[in-house]
A and B are shown apart, each in its own frame.
Chain A
Amino acid sequence: MRHIISVLMENEPGALSRVVGLFSQRNFNIESLTVAPTEDATLSRLTVTTIGDDRVIEQITKQLNKLIDVVKVVDLTEGEHIERELMMIKLKASGQMRAEIKRTADIFRGQIIDVTPTTYTVQMIGSSEKLDAFITSLGAASIMEVVRSGVSGIARGEKVLSL
């Protein structure tokens, strides 16, 4: 199953490489990974999406917790949560395709953020599933480039991941 694991860690050089190294060393898989500092400049937050059965996910969270630089770990998929990913997608857009792409982007609440006579760049925010669905629905339009940020996630309600 796919899991979204959030990690709060010391914002120090080397911390990220420990996390990434752990995944390759222990043969855990990484689907996507994002990392950035938090409101507390000494901490950064990393979100990793991974696929594995319960035993693997349990090992992943335990092994992450063991890293000295890691302050807290939570598997967001265990509870109610929100996930978002940002995508920018550059498409060939000429002739009747221009209107077609615009319509599809509107349906998905995407925005066209860059325009040239022959291209559109669409920005879209949503769950990874939604972004995948958008790509599929583009059908005949030809995709020139896709950039995705990887998933960020947060728990619903009062629950927070903090010190």
Chain B
Amino acid sequence: MVVRALRDEGVKYIYGYPGGALLHVYDALFQQEDVQHVLVRHEQAATHMADAYARATGKAGVALVTSGPGATNAITGIATAYMDSIPMVVITGQVMSYLIGEDAFQETDMLGISRPIVKHNFSVTRAEDIPEIIKKAFHIAESGRPGPVVVDIPKDMTAPTERFPYEYPKSVKLRSYSPVTKGHSGQIKKAVDMLLGAKRPIIYSGGGIIMGDASAELIELAQLLNFPVTNTLMGLGGYPGTDRQFVGMLGMHGSYEANMTMHHSDLVLAIGARFDDRVTNATDKFCPTARIVHVDIDPASISKTIQADVPIVGPAKVVLEEMIQLVKASKKQPDAEAIASWWKQIDEWRSRHGGHYRTDDSELMKPQQVIEMLSKVTNGDAYVCSDVGQHQMFAAQYYKFNKPNRWINSGGLGTMGFGFPAAMGVKMNFPNEEVVCVTGEGSIQMNIQELSTCSQYNIPVKIICLNNQSLGMVRQWQDMNYEARHSHSYMDSLPDFKKLVEAYGHVGMKVEKYSDLENAMREAFAMKDRLVFMDIMVDPFEHVYPMQVPRGAMRDMWLSKTERT
């Protein structure tokens, strides 16, 4: 029943790991071919694969894990999806229903453990409810503000003694759940009026544009108005990275021009972004002269950390469409002169500090150079799945994303170990696209066992490991705030990654000189059907800049080890 429901939902791949509580389900999987199961080497990887599929397509990915340790291994992956509002359905096995609560073998209270990190969870108490519950799980995961949903299924529910007619519902209705489908027209009018009157505006967009499939509408509105656009870490690709109106990412490691533009603006149009603390810096100093229009599908995101002047609850795509119509129909024109002088100011900021790093004072390869090379070699078109650390920030800053859904990373939870399984999940579903995992020598070791899964299913991702021989992001904070006391932030006794991946049957490369980088990278990408691990030795002392000064305003930044705004 579980497998049939998944098939009828149109699921092609599920990622999982078997165990006692799931034996009936695995037996059903064995006897059909519609739903293909991918056997991972650790349940966390299964959840990240499902999650990344969702990030790339907007549709819920599916993971299948057994009770007890299988379920708890999935927790990090569920929390990762939850923090970034990613649709996912995680099916967890459970002990026999009559054993629940007795500390039975491999029993954990998965409903209780997962409760704070799911959009919703279900427990099956009657076998005949399975199709409807699975339908509801997908509906809840994918609609409104997306999120992970757990379905906990006791073993006896998957082998009922009676037979039931099976029917997969076409749609479901829940009386207590009806996400908004449209924004409030009066509020939208008011917002458009403010947009047209603004002299120093900026559009600040986030993950809601990516998951809400609203990139085209965002581009149209921004270009219609000639407003600058900044993206959050989760929103990259929502607006083309190489376009003149794009001022870069904002926030803690945002660009100088993005943070300056935000700070000095008189109007912030926030869409599908949640004013995270990594974005706002100190909330009491945030954008002191700006009025805020906030569009979000989740009313709880609005005025949570920053009070909105015009709140609009609705899907970004629909609200933007309405805004575009209103702007086009309006007699009022944007103040071209004010906008032109605003651009002059922004361009001046851009030329002063835009995207510079030093290459001259050291022989070592800079991580930024590697990402720029990657962007060049892949024409800015690859799916880039990142791990967490300095390499993630360099990838966000220096890879120019021109399309949505191609920058895949863990922003809210910051889960090291996410990048590699994420790349696998994307590659399986887009076999003809370039899929890259950008990682560090620390992060990659958190799910390195998946090299084995890649051999089994032939998943030829490219792994770009920026090897700085340290937990660079931690080390940077220690340099800046703890007088360079590097407590446990170095990586002693690293493996020989080249030999390691070769042992799994893949191709390994080690690159130590910048002059070798381009050729090596081109060679790696030419091997279309091989997994290639590029172990690239980079400057271990490099820091990520800009970096906002703690408890400061948006504009308060370190621009290098010695310069401050």
Contact = CB atoms under 8 A, between A and B. Distances in A.
Interface of A: 9-10, 13-14, 17-18, 21, 25, 55, 58-59, 62-63, 65-66, 68-71, 163
B299 A62 contact: yes
A71 B174 CA distance: 10
Contact of B119 (A65, A68, A163): A68
B115 A21 contact: yes
Contacts, number: 35
B362 interface: no
B176 A69 contact: yes
Given A14-B123, A65-B299, A70-B176, A25 B304 contact: no
Interface of B: 111-112, 115-116, 119-121, 123, 140, 174-177, 298-300, 303-304, 307
A10 B304 CA distance: 27
A76 B518 CA distance: 66
B176 A62 contact: no
Contacts of B300: 59, 62-63, 65-66
Nearest to B115: A21
B299 A68 contact: no
4 shortest interchain CB distances as A-B pairs: A62-B300, A71-B176, A68-B120, A25-B116
A66 B304 CA distance: 14
Nearest to A22: B116
Contact of B298 (A21, A66, A69): A66
A68 B175 contact: no
Contact of A68 (B116, B140, B303, B307): B140
A19 B300 CA distance: 16
B112 A59 contact: no
Given A10-B176, A71-B176, 5 more contacts: A13-B123, A58-B303, A62-B300, A68-B119, A163-B175
Nearest to B117: A25
A62 B298 CA distance: 9
B111 A68 contact: no
Contact of A17 (B115, B119, B120, B176): B115
Contacts of A18: 115
- Identify which of A17, A18, A21, A25 gathers the most chain B CB atoms within 10 Å of its CB: A18
B304 A68 contact: no
A68 B177 CA distance: 6
B120 A55 contact: no
A66 B120 CA distance: 10
A21 B123 CA distance: 17
A17 B175 contact: no
A136 to B, nearest CB: 39
B426 to A, nearest CB: 29
Contacts of A59: 300, 304
B112 A17 contact: yes
Contacts of B177: 68
- Identify which of B116, B119, B298, B307 gathers the most chain A CB atoms within 10 Å of its CB: B116
A63 B300 CA distance: 6
Contacts of A63: 300
Contact of B303 (A9, A14, A55, A70): A55
Contacts of B119: 68
Nearest to A55: B303
Contacts of B140: 68
Nearest to A8: B176
A62 B120 CA distance: 16
Nearest to B179: A66
A63 B148 CA distance: 17
Given A14-B111, A21-B115, A9 B176 contact: yes
Contacts of A70: 176
Contacts of A13: 123
Contacts of B176: 9-10, 68-71
B548 to A, nearest CB: 24
15 contacts: A10-B176, A14-B111, A14-B121, A17-B112, A25-B116, A58-B303, A59-B300, A62-B300, A65-B300, A66-B298, A68-B119, A68-B174, A68-B177, A70-B176, A71-B176
